[in-house]
Amino acid sequence: MKQDIVKQIKELALKQYDQGGHWVVESYTDEEIAKEFSSVEEAQKAWEEKEEYEQEHQAAREFYNDGNFWADFYGVKTS
């Protein structure tokens, strides 16, 4: 039964690779998937949350220019 869930999770993760499924495909072994997730829905929710977090993190890095935003804002020389 657990192997069926692992297979289903991996298949959906591959179909939704660009929507966050890559977090499962690239980061988890079959054993880790079986241990970590009890359903396909749980796995999908996990990778969607991870993808959302990473997109927000990337947007913040771009907005703040890797920390230089505030230095520029206050006119502080950083180099």
- Whether 79 is in a domain gets the answer no
Which pair of structure tokens corresponds to residue 55? 């997109």
| Domains held by the chain: number | 1
Confidence of residue 2 (pLDDT cuts 50, 70, 90): confident
Q: How far apart are the first and last CA of the chain?
A: 59
Tell me how far CA of residue 67 lies from CA of 59, 72, 75, 76, 78, in angstroms.
13, 9, 13, 12, 10
Q: What is the pLDDT, as a whole number, of residue 65?
A: 64
Confidence of residue 79 (pLDDT cuts 50, 70, 90): low
Q: What is the pLDDT, as a whole number, of residue 70?
A: 64
What would the pLDDT profile of 30-74 be if each residue is shown by its tens digit?
999 999 999 999 999 999 999 999 988 887 777 766 656 666 777
- Whether 6 is in a domain gets the answer yes
Task: Supply the range of the domain harboring residue 18.
Answer: 2-74
Whether pLDDT at 24 is above 70: yes
- Whether 19 is in a domain gets the answer yes
